[in-house]
Structure 1
Amino acid sequence: MSDHTPYIADPPRRVPSAEELRARIPGWGSDLDPADRPSVPKLSRAAGAATGAHWDVPPQQDGASGRERSIEHAHVTPVFGTAQPLHGLAGAVRRYAYRRFSEGRLAHWMLLVVGDRIDVATHRVTDALHGRPDRVIRETGVRVEAGTHPVASRLGSSRRDWRHGLLDPLVANWGWLAALGGVVLLVRRLRRVRRH
């Protein structure tokens, strides 16, 4: 065999025997004999080792009828989380993703991401209405960057995250920018109405 065997269109298939592998690789096949495997009596039902489970199928947790589940599965898992129930527009988007698309489809996961972004935007608005708005400047780290030579430290080195310095404030604050744009449009419309 040559060094180029993996690149041949139809390479010869020669499977080494157990004796050859045992001679070539120290310890090969040490777990083939069940007598040498300490886990076999514990894992084998034939050996009579009980798992301690008192059921064949776990009992279903209450509240499963309205829970979201993948369309590949016939029912909800026996136990599921209830800490963050779906609600509002974000919940409707997530329910649609589970009801309409398989987990193997990109649309399923993109809708879940959209639902997450809607949830974040909703919480930012409700927090602001409750008197606890996000501290945009402090949370993005812009103030800290200003005193540490942000441009020189990125352009004068091999760092690859300098593009993030330009994009991160936009990605993190698109909701605020959209809200600001909405306020500007509303104010302009009110001014036009007053003029006429």
Structure 2
Amino acid sequence: MAKIPYIRGVRPGVPSPEELRARIPGWGVDLDPADRPAVPRELVDGVPDGVLWDYPDEQSETSPRERSIEHAQLTPVFGTVAPLQGVAGAIRRLAYARFSEARAAHWLLLLGADRVESKEHLVRAYLDGRPDDPVAETGVTAETGTGTTSVTSRLRGGRVDQHQVLDPVVIALPAIAGGWLTWRVLRGAARRAAGH
């Protein structure tokens, strides 16, 4: 008997079909197989007879991997090249452990983890002495050798990229705010050290 990663039967915390029908208008409209064109391709009771396929050998799990709560187990082969780490990893583990992939909370937590990870990398770049260059990231320095200055090319119409108005907000403002916050923290630490 082949193993199927989806859990069958009753799962804790999952509402019954009757509760869902009462709560969500139109829930379950696709339950009738006549209304579902993909029904012949779905595996209801595992691998059907006549299929020339064996369940592959399972990869060993050396460290806990995240997986959807809809799945009873990991797929036979899974990626290990980027293990979860740091605060972003903890947020991603929470998203997979608590919320179904059908819930917005699952995906919002994953998006939030991406933002946290980008800030973690930004802090790491500062600590390593190789901070990002906000001016170069706007593309201004790449436009200087094109025969027009970056200012005239941005003021003239016909540009494909229309984000130049947002560049100072998206690129420069976080760098300025981060620098100001760092200055405030260091100044406060220096005052406390001098006063004690």
Task: Tell me the TM-score normalised to structure 1 length.
Answer: 0.59
Is residue 117 from structure 1 mapped to residue 112 from structure 2 by the alignment?
Answer: no
Alignment of 1:1-196 (within 5 A): 51=52, 53=53, 55=54, 57-63=55-61, 66-145=64-143, 148=148, 150=150, 153=153, 156-157=156-157, 161-162=161-162, 164-172=163-171, 176-190=175-189, 192-193=191-192, 194=194
Structure number having the greater helix percentage: 1
1:154 Cα deviation (Å)? 5.2
Q: How many residues align?
A: 145
**Pairwise CA distance, 1:91:** 0.3
Question: Structure 1 stretch 177-186 or stretch 86-95: which is displaced more?
Answer: 177-186
Q: Which has the larger radius of gyration?
A: 1
* Counterparts in 2 of 1:83 and 1:175: CA distance versus 1, 3 Å: farther
Question: Structure 1 191/123 Cα, relative in aligned 2: closer, same or farther at 3 Å?
Answer: closer
Whether the aligned pair in 1 keeps the contact of 2:137 and 2:171 (CA below 8 Å) is no
3-state SS, counterpart of residue 188 of structure 2: helix
CA distance in 2, matches of 1:174, 1:59: 51
Percent of pairs with identical residues: 47
**Secondary structure of 2:166's match?**
helix
TM-score normalized with structure 2 length: 0.59
Distance of 2:63 and 2:128 partners within structure 1:
34
Distance 2:159 2:174 in 1: 29
- Does the C-alpha gap of structure 1 residues 189 and 168 become closer, same or farther in structure 2, counting only changes over 3 Å? same
Question: Aligned partners of 2:84 and 2:170: how far apart in 1?
Answer: 24
Q: Quick one: which amino acid aligns to residue 180 of structure 1?
A: G
CA RMSD in angstroms comes to 3.1
In the alignment, structure 1 segments of 5+ residues that lack a partner are 1-44
Report how far residue 190 of structure 1 moved. 3.9
Q: Deviations over 1:99-155 (max 9, x none)?
A: 112212222112111111221221222233223322332233122356745565455
Structure 1 residues 94, 174: CA separation in 2 closer, same or farther (over 3 Å shift)? Answer: farther
**TM-aligned CA deviation for residue 88 of structure 1:** 0.7
